[in-house]
Amino acid sequence: MGRRAGLRGLVRCHSLAGSRLAARAPRRSTRFGLAYLRDGEPLHPDEDLVEVLAVGDVMPGRGMAEVDGIFIDVADELRGADLALGNLEGAIGAAPAPGAGIPLLLPSKSPAALAAAGFDLLGLANNHSLDAGPAGLIETKRQLRRAGIEPIESDRPLFAEVDGTVFAFLAWNDLALPSRQALLESVRAADSAADQVIVLIHWGRSISMIDPSPAGAGSGALAGRGRYPAWVPSACRSGS
């Protein structure tokens, strides 16, 4: 399938709040004062737009497990996107696996709450995906799919088509020091079957600086999302 050149440069992060460009914001600008740009310029008001909204870590367990309405302030944005995705930090399970360290266990009601909030896809490649052991990871994937959320993994791309544009999604845990060549090969393979490839990369170390060029750099992916809980901010990248 050929690429749709009109979307190649679409992913940008830029605030128009208080800017002279605010009046020229495209029709799908967000309520937080963000607008979509291509090569630094607002889109034409009549231009078709596919909106993929990506967030960082999502962890509705531990102290948040019994809190109601934790997504109430962001649900409208998530539901309003064509595709909403993030990194699910944790696993569904009643007890931690041996050697789990600080386990992030999620209650079984989490998938339904995440689906109601508006998530469509969630990455499972991170250092807490096996906190409930291999069985917990399998159960997490099963319950996510049952709630209508597709898990994004490392070993095979997840494809989604929106208004004729085919996206391929991959998730990657860079904390485990895996073979980066494997990721590059996966991205290039996905690129041959999709118009856009988006990679969720879990990288960085707690209370430390991060490598500004994680595993996906130079891979040909349209955008990478990097995050580590509490310490490393999300990043928005674009490229061709």
pLDDT tens digits for range 8-59? 333 332 222 332 222 223 334 444 556 677 777 877 777 777 888 899 899 9
pLDDT in tens, 82-140: 999 999 999 999 898 998 888 999 999 999 999 999 999 999 999 899 999 999 999 99
- Where is average pLDDT lowest: 126-130, 206-210, 219-223? 219-223
Determine the pLDDT at residue 67. Answer: 80
**Cα–Cα distance for residue pair 25/111, rounded to 1 Å:** 34
List the alpha helices (DSSP H) in 84-152.
Answer: 110-117, 133-146
Cα 215 from chain centre? 16
**Cα–Cα distance for residue pair 11/36, rounded to 1 Å:** 7
Binned at pLDDT 50, 70 and 90, residue 78 comes out as very high
Binned at pLDDT 50, 70 and 90, residue 238 comes out as very low
Determine the pLDDT at residue 26. Answer: 33
Q: What is the mean pLDDT of residues 205-225?
A: 53
> Is the backbone of residue 163 left (phi > 0), alpha (psi -120 to 50) or beta?
left
The domain segmentation of the chain, as residue ranges, is 1-48, 50-227
Backbone dihedral angles phi then psi of residue 164, each to the nearest 5 degrees: 85, -5
**Cα–Cα distance for residue pair 38/30, rounded to 1 Å:** 16
Token pair belonging to 191? 């690129």
Give the relative orientation of helices 110-117 and 133-146 as an angle to the nearest 10 degrees.
40
Half-sphere exposure (CA, 13 Å, Cβ side) for 80? 11
**Cα–Cα distance for residue pair 151/138, rounded to 1 Å:** 11
Question: For 50-227, CATH number?
Answer: 3.60.21.10
* Mean pLDDT (the chain, rounded): 74
Backbone dihedral angles phi then psi of residue 238, each to the nearest 5 degrees: -145, 160
> Which single residue is written with the structure tokens 């940008």?
12
Determine the pLDDT at residue 12. Answer: 30
pTM of the full predicted structure? 0.74
